């Protein structure tokens, strides 16, 4: 799997998990999908993603 594919899958999973936790546990869990969304937003402008750096260091292929 490519790094960008893993990042998208991970971000999508965190958003879904955050929304489910918000609905079923506590409304404060809404912070999780908001944080993920803001990180994806800033990635669109800067190209910086901490998870992609970690995955590249672990040996996942970039392309």
Is the model's pLDDT at 37 over the cut of 80? yes
Q: Mean of the per-residue pLDDT values for the chain?
A: 94
- For the entire predicted model, the pTM comes to 0.85
Q: Do residues 55 and 1 touch, judged by C-beta distance below 8 A?
A: no
Using one digit for the tens of pLDDT, what is the confidence trace for 15-33? Answer: 999 999 999 999 999 999 9
Which residue pairs, CB below 8 angstroms and at least 24 apart, start in 38-42? 39/11, 40/11
Q: How many other CB atoms sit within 10 Å of the CB of residue 33?
A: 19
Q: Say whether pLDDT at 10 is over 90.
A: yes
State yes or no: pLDDT of 63 exceeds 80.
no
Residue 62 pLDDT level (bands cut at 50, 70, 90): confident
């Amino acid at each position: 799997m490519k790094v960008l594919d893993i990042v998208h899958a991970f971000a999508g999973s965190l958003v879904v998990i955050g929304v489910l936790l918000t609905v079923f546990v506590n409304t404060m869990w809404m912070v999780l999908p908001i944080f993920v969304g803001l990180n994806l937003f800033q990635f669109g402008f800067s190209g910086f993603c901490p998870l992609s750096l970690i995955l590249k260091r672990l040996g996942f292929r970039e392309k």
